[in-house]
Chains A and B, each alone.
Chain A
Amino acid sequence: MEAWKDYVASVKTLPRSVWDSLVRHGAPVTDRSRMETVLQNLFLHIHPTRVHRWSLRWSYSLGLGLICAASFLLLLVTGVLLMFYYKPSTVLAYQSIQDIHYVIPSGRFMRNIHRWGAHIMVVAVILHMARVFYTSSYKKPREMNWVFGLVLLVLTLGLSFSGYLLPWDQLAYWATTIGANIAQSPRELTDALGITPYFDPGGFQKTLLLGSRSVGEEALIRFYVLHIMVLPLLMVVFMGLHFWRIRKDGGLSRPEDADERLGPPGDDALPVFTQAQKKSYGLMAVVRGTSPTVGRGPENTVPAWPHLMTAEAAVFMFTLAITVALSFFFDAPLKEMANPLIPENPAKAPWYFLGLQEIVSFSAFAGGVLLPMLALIGLGLIPYLDREPGGVGYWLGGRDRDKRVFLQSAAFGLAAVIGLEAFAVRFGWLRDWFPGIPQIVITLFNPGTLLTFLYVAYSVWIIRRENSTRLGGIAIFTCLLAGFIILTLIGTYFRGPNWGFYWSPSHWPVH
């Protein structure tokens, strides 16, 4: 009978015991169980158990990294849903998007979220990079994480661009055609050297990308596989690396004197160590660098559960709210079905490439290969070339000198790009003055390369004037940002048919 009683008792407590076996610590009400909540959960354990209050400050991180991750998650979910209906073939792709748009329950909304999520992710990634830069967060020991961040930027753009072709509409077809021709642009160089027949990296790149000479079935499958498999996998791997490194590098960057500046914790912070210390800090001895908890009490840290979790949930929901609001009011575009016989004019790449397309209009090689490569390499080298200590954890180091240089660089960057563009729009460029000029001259000498030269020269001058590599970095980064923004705006809003300059699309000649 004992067995029977035990059995009844087991049945009665079944839900409880299943739950207890799933969550082996108690409810997160004590300091210890809060830590365990994070530590013992596979999905949460990438978080620290305690997080510094500085990291939770609004004004510091702006939640941008989380917005990137949140929008990636949104894209993953909606992307999988779209995959159920999307058919990657030139005959069926457009039709399947029409079906998703018109008759699949909530298909239109899912596609809108996927589209808007992609835009938001690109914007957030760029802003996140700016945040990390302006708070000096790339400095030792975070140099390599900055580089991983750049890889994530490239992957984000790659994902966005590879998804562009899939609807197989006119927008997709011609944007991809432009992209493929840019991939072929090293020919500009090899043609000038006369070695294209023997050594043709441009042609190889284009063929590699399209699987054919023009955008067609092969290209669609390639872009599809890249978009749903290769790039997302790489993305997840590098996101893992990126997050892992944040943990290992001691959380988000913060200033040396963060504790003093924060003062004592407010009332909303849960009390520290209400129970006896359980965890051994001996482990911390192997953590590299000046980890905050080495030789210092955890006074200014708070349990990750609930503080960090609430913050993450808030940012995630905020991202979701913005995305669904946009998706509710604005449909993702679907133009006419791709038609190789009717070129779009102007055929524009996705907006974040329009700054480059603006330079491509002078030289495909300069705008599509040379300058982006230079920019990426330059960005990647920043943490290795600027090794000045200090200033970490504040926007612009919290110093007036940095702010002044930032404003000067912004002014110079804007003036240079606007001036050069205005000149090129008003007076034309070399090809307009000397029609017979060899293209190689324009490849080397166009508003894009000239601008890059000016920016580099300016930042070198700043390094020497201010005797600071950090300020030189601020100069070049700010100039690049200014150039990117202005060129993107021009490419997006002021370029019309045949890449002519128009103040507004309403002035475009209708053909």
Chain B
Amino acid sequence: MKKLLLASSLVALGFLVASGLSENVFVSWKGYQKEYARLLAERAEDPARKREALATAVELRQFVVPDLHVIDRCVTCHLGLDDPRMAGAPNPYAAHPGNILKIHPPEKFGCTICHRGQGAAVSFREAKAVDVYWDYPLLPPNLVESSCGICHDPMALAERGAPALARGARLFEEKGCHGCHRLGGLGGSLGAELDSVGLKTKHQLVMANLPGERTTYRWLDRHFKDPQGIVPGSLMKPDYPTEEEARALTIYMLSLQAGRELPDRAVARDRHRLLSLEHDQGERDGRTLYDRLCRVCHGEGTFGTYDKFLGRFVPAIRNPAFLRMADREFLRASIMRGRPGTQMAGFDGGMTDADLAKLLEYLAGSERIPERRPDSYEKLPVGDAKRGGSIFARQCAGCHDPGEKGQVAPTLSSRSFQEKASDAMILRTIAEGRPGTAMVAFVGPEGTGFTGGELADLLAYLRTLSSRRR
């Protein structure tokens, strides 16, 4: 018993001493501070300065910025941060490059607001926080630019400080990302909303297919280069960006942190202006809107094309034959509510009424599109839905699966279609087809194809689809 007492006491004492030493004496930051004092003394010009340098207290240092919720202890090791004499010194003693700290004194902004990482930690592994539990690991130096966008308008920094961020913002507009992704109140709803994408943590992204370190910034970079490789089955079109383009886009994504609460003093004036414009800096004429919102799927819009990513024909929405059949009410419904059964998701909430009006004007071009086309086509007999159903099964179902989801062509049972597509439009589309799409004309010039009776049967059948859905 006494032996056990002695042995246990010795073991306990040993570990107590060991932990006391390892946690309080042999900590890395104390070593760094001593080395820093030595470096400083080396660079001292006179003996008094040298003594002063060597007498620097070894103590914990931190920046506390309450309104940004920042307690950053990075300076405990990065002591030479604001000391020009330390320019060119090795890390962690080096001075901060550039004049950023003059404009953004760390006492007012801290470190992690730009660099991310775990500011409370005082060892590099835990501060970098890539493989420890922390939502926002340290950004690699070539992505830190992204943080400028938290408080600034990216475009305002194109010439000074954040060219890659500005380039990313421009690329986002040019490549038509708004077509699927809503940002600043503009854009579609097929993809994820991006207003706060920069605040996402790795747990909110599908990390399974990302080799190597699992961080959000590596995910974004890989995802831009190979969307389907990272998220199998993703509808995002690979754009094959260059390394630099991918970096610029990643930076821009990381900068999008609308959900973050910032004190007024931190937000730059240019950003206030940007917010008042709802993120939109370009002109919003019809053509620009078409390029940003529609082009990514519809292309020029004069020919329907088969899209291998969407696995279907994308209809030609600027095709004159189509525009002659459609009316404004139908177009408006299609744009705002989308076309269920296709990848055309509604833009409701993704554009303003003024935007919609401008877009319709641009789509119409030289055509004059009435608000509502008259319902009459020809005088047709009352159709028989049952007969229409068998015609549909033979001629139409191959593309227009009447089930929940359309196969290649839009679902005809959706509410928006049933409500907004007039009888006349349906009949004319069947009869004359949709040039530029797979939808051919079913009534030939010399009375071949469907008869009037068959058309009426089909229409009657199509109109039963909406009730079947409910």
Contact = CB atoms under 8 A, between A and B. Distances in A.
A34 B146 CA distance: 75
Given A317-B9, A337-B135, A328 B19 contact: yes
Interface in B1-36: 1-2, 4-5, 7-9, 11-12, 15-16, 18-20, 23-24
A93 to B, nearest CB: 13
Contacts, number: 88
Contact of B133 (A102, A106, A335): A335
Contacts of A339: 135, 201
A12 interface: no
B399 interface: no
A109 B19 contact: yes
B58 interface: no
A510 B12 contact: no
Given A99-B120, A109-B19, A336 B135 contact: yes
Given A106-B19, A106-B23, A324-B12, A310 B2 contact: yes
B120 A102 contact: yes
B206 interface: yes
Category for how many chain A residues contact B? 35 or more
A336 B133 contact: yes
A320 interface: yes
A108 B23 contact: yes
A95 interface: yes
A437 interface: no
B8 A327 contact: no
Residue from the set A105, A307, A328 with the largest chain B CB neighbour count within 10 Å? A328
Interface in A385-430: none
B173 to A, nearest CB: 29
A437 B52 CA distance: 80
B60 interface: yes
Contact of A321 (B2, B12, B20, B207): B12
B208 interface: yes
Residue from the set A103, A170, A334, A339 with the largest chain B CB neighbour count within 10 Å? A103
A95 B120 contact: yes
Nearest to B129: A336
B203 A342 contact: yes
A476 B396 CA distance: 68
A95 B71 contact: yes
B208 A314 contact: no
A336 B120 contact: no
Nearest to B5: A314
A7 interface: no
B15 A328 contact: yes
A328 B13 CA distance: 12
A234 interface: no
B201 A336 contact: yes
Interface string B331-344: 00000000000000
B23 A336 contact: no
A324 B71 CA distance: 30
A343 to B, nearest CB: 9
Given A102-B121, A103-B122, A336-B135, A510 B208 contact: yes
A31 interface: no
B73 interface: yes
Nearest to B118: A98
B47 to A, nearest CB: 34
B412 to A, nearest CB: 31
A509 B118 CA distance: 27
B450 interface: no
B126 interface: yes
A511 interface: yes
Given A314-B4, A337-B135, A102 B16 contact: no
B12 A105 contact: no
A53 B223 CA distance: 72
Interface in A173-217: none
Interface residues of B, number: 34
A510 B120 contact: no
B121 A310 contact: no
Interface string A478-511: 0000000000000000000000000000000111
B30 to A, nearest CB: 12
Contacts of A106: 19-20, 23-24
Given A314-B2, A317-B9, A328 B18 contact: yes
Given A103-B60, A509-B208, A321 B135 contact: no
A325 B2 contact: no
B142 interface: no
A249 interface: no
B10 to A, nearest CB: 8
A58 to B, nearest CB: 9
Nearest to B214: A510
B204 A342 contact: yes
Contacts of A105: 23-24
A281 interface: no
A335 B24 CA distance: 23
A511 B207 contact: yes
Given A102-B73, A109-B23, A336 B206 contact: no
A358 interface: no
B5 A317 contact: yes
Interface in A320-365: 320-321, 324-325, 327-328, 333-337, 339, 342
A311 interface: yes
B134 interface: yes
Interface string B147-165: 0000000000000000000
A313 B2 CA distance: 9
Nearest to A104: B23
Nearest to A108: B23
Contacts of A108: 23
A314 B4 CA distance: 6
A311 B1 contact: yes
25 contacts: A56-B1, A99-B120, A105-B24, A106-B19, A106-B20, A106-B24, A310-B1, A313-B5, A314-B2, A314-B8, A317-B8, A317-B9, A318-B4, A320-B8, A320-B12, A321-B11, A321-B12, A324-B16, A325-B11, A325-B15, A327-B15, A336-B203, A339-B135, A339-B201, A510-B208
* Among all A-B residue pairs, the 3 with the closest Cβ atoms: A317-B8, A314-B5, A324-B15
Interface of B: 1-2, 4-5, 7-9, 11-12, 15-16, 18-20, 23-24, 60, 71, 73, 118, 120-122, 126, 133-135, 201, 203-204, 206-208, 214
Given A321-B8, A325-B11, 20 more contacts: A102-B122, A105-B23, A106-B23, A307-B1, A310-B2, A314-B4, A314-B8, A317-B5, A317-B12, A320-B8, A324-B15, A324-B16, A325-B15, A328-B15, A328-B18, A334-B133, A335-B133, A336-B203, A509-B208, A510-B214
Interface of A: 56, 95, 98-99, 102-103, 105-106, 108-109, 169-170, 307, 310-311, 313-314, 317-318, 320-321, 324-325, 327-328, 333-337, 339, 342, 509-511
